[in-house]
Amino acid sequence: MSDARWPIWKLSILLYPFAAGAVAINLFLLFLMLQAIGVTAISPETSVVGGIILGVPAAWASGKWARHLMDEADS
């Protein structure tokens, strides 16, 4: 019988759209809050580009976390 475990890279690909969207929203809101100390806000388009780029490590971390939870549930 083959091992039915999902590898981290497959989980990361599956979770990438959600991670990239969450990063984009959080990046936009972070720069809105930073206006209180004089930093200029970024545009929504810039935050989407940042979410696309920074979504890769966020998706990898989400995949590792999901894999850990799946392993924990199996044991």
Q: Give the list of residues 6+ apart from residue 20 with CB closer than 8 angstroms, or none.
A: 51, 52, 54, 55, 58, 59
Q: What is the dihedral of CA 53, 59, 60, 64, to 10 degrees?
A: 170
Could you tell me the CA-to-CA distances from 17 to 1, 60, 62 in Å, in that order? 32, 12, 11
Give pLDDT tens digits for 3-23. 678 899 999 999 999 999 999
Which is higher by pLDDT, 57 or 74? 57
Give pLDDT tens digits for 27-70. 999 999 999 999 999 999 999 999 999 999 999 999 999 999 99
Q: What is the dihedral of CA 49, 51, 55, 56, to 10 degrees?
A: 20
